[in-house]
Amino acid sequence: MLKLYLVPTPIGNLEDMTFRAVRVLKEADLILAEDTRTSGKLLKHFDIGTQMMSHHMHNEHQTVQGIVKRIQAGETVACISDAGTPAISDPGFLLTRACVEAGIEVDCLPGATAFVPALVNSGFPNDKFVFEGFLPVKKGRQTRFLQLQEETRTMIFYESPHKLVKTLGHFVSYFGEDRPVSVSRELTKLFEETIRGTASEVLAYYTNKPPKGEIVIVVGGKGR
């Protein structure tokens, strides 16, 4: 059966790799990797010798149709990102859509993704939430904040360490200094931490202690 596998990879701790993920990657004819150098270390650790091909945000528009043709020709293809689940703020969506349109089965394995543990760790209501991913860098950023001011569901954002303080400042400005915020940093890694407090408290913390590593921000919804 023609099939594309979307295979989650650990967000930090290699012990989070599943047995099934290792088997699928070993049995595949081709692995699409966001960065072959990063993924090469992962594959070496699990003794996976499958051929890799670079597939990232800068080339995916050009490579998608070629990959679809390879699957249609009988190859089993697995797609991974540098960390976490493909297509969640990472390459994978365009290929998945193209495969669905071509009648190719898509099988996404369960596995690591950063926003779920960050949401659960926050202690905020998680019966309803909205995943925002990365906010617009410049154009559309203010518009997005204005749209989110009335959001009552818990909100989840990804952010880079050098933009965290600026983003927390925007939370204070648009959501209010008392809005509950939880920042999870370096999840599953040696220096993992979760800092909880009001928007102004968390802003003060990271203003005095510049952050490093991968970051997930969870913000309480209005009135919750």
Domain boundary, last residue among 58, 80, 108: 108
| Mean pLDDT, residues 127-140 taken together | 93
Token pair listed for 57: 């945000």
Final residue of a structural domain among 82, 108, 134: 108
Query: Mean pLDDT of all residues in the chain?
Result: 95
Average pLDDT estimate for 38-57: 95
The model's pTM: 0.92
* Dihedral pair phi/psi, residue 131, rounded to 5°: -95, 115
To the nearest 10°, report the CA torsion of 143, 134, 157, 6: 140
Mean pLDDT of 137-151: 93
Residue 174 counted as domain residue: yes
Phi, psi of 54 (to 5 degrees): -70, 130
Residue 49 one-letter amino acid: G
Predicted confidence (pLDDT) at residue 194 exceeds the cutoff of 80: yes
Using a pLDDT cut of 70, give the percent of the chain over it. Answer: 100
Res. 123: pLDDT tops 80: yes
Cα(122)–Cα(224) distance, integer angstroms? 13
How many separate domains does the chain show?
2
The whole-number average pLDDT for the span 144-152 is: 96
What pLDDT score does 224 carry?
Answer: 73
pLDDT for residue 98: 96
Mean pLDDT (whole number) for 144-157: 97
pLDDT at 59 (0 to 100): 87
104 and 10 share a domain?
A: yes
Q: Is the pLDDT of residue 108 over 80?
A: yes
Domain hosting 101: range is 3-108
224, part of any domain: no
pLDDT of residue 60: 85
In a shared domain, residues 145 and 168: yes
- CATH number, residue 119: 3.30.950.10
